[in-house]
Amino acid sequence: MKILDSKYSRYILFLLFIFTLIWSVLIMPLALRKVAHATGSSTMLDTQPTSEPTGTYQYLERVGEEGRQVLLSIYQFEDFVFPIAYGSFFFFAIAYWLRKSFPDKRFLLLLSCIPLLMVYFDFAENFTIVRLINHYPNQLTSTAKTLGTYTLVKWILGLISGGIFIGSFLIFVVKKIQPSKK
């Protein structure tokens, strides 16, 4: 990826960080406040590592019509953009740090694709939630089961991505401060 070797790569990384930070610290907390105001609860379906169809439909019943409409709005905008923000940042950060740390081992850049898989499953999860809300009160049990799988895979990929993110950053820092051997 030529962009990783450009003189602008640090600026791109910084801008992606700022975008993700703004979304994480301002936009998503505001969305959760909207959920709390409409439903009396600040939890959303995708904030638990697993879900079962019964629990999913109990949640949709508990939040009521107004809560379902607020959730629908959030899953179609805020929680649609958020995976793009964090996925882009994690992808670019991991790729940047691995490229700078191991310039001769390009195959390691494949690790930076794991956050993109997480984004895919986050999108699949969000689309599934939107479908369940749109069909409520009809219960799409197999779709609700699929939601649990998407959520679990997203969380597993998130943990793996976080480990790679931290590991690649630490390797980058250690190699940066370590005296070069000539």
Q: What is the pLDDT of residues 103-130, one digit of tens each?
A: 888 889 999 999 999 999 999 999 999 9
* Average pLDDT value for residue range 161-170: 95
Enumerate the domain spans of the chain: 9-175
Residue 91 has pLDDT above 70, yes or no: yes
Please choose, from the candidates 67, 63, 74, 58, the residue with its C-alpha nearest in 3D space to the C-alpha of residue 23: 74
- φ/ψ of 77, rounded to 5, equals -130, -75
Amino acid letter, residue 74: I
Residue 182 has pLDDT above 60, yes or no: no
Residue ranges of the alpha helices (H) in 5-140?
Answer: 9-22, 28-39, 53-76, 78-101, 114-135
Which pLDDT does position 2 carry in this prediction? 75
The enclosing H or E element of 153 equals helix 141-177
| Residue keyed to tokens 């905008």 | 77
Higher pLDDT, 92 or 182: 92
* Average pLDDT value for residue range 157-165: 96
Give the list of residues 6+ apart from residue 105 with CB closer than 8 angstroms, or none: 98
pLDDT band (50, 70, 90) for residue 181: low
Q: How far apart are the first and last CA of the chain?
A: 27
pLDDT band (50, 70, 90) for residue 86: very high
Q: What is the pLDDT of residues 4-61, one digit of tens each?
A: 777 888 899 999 999 999 999 999 999 999 999 988 887 888 887 777 888 899 999 9
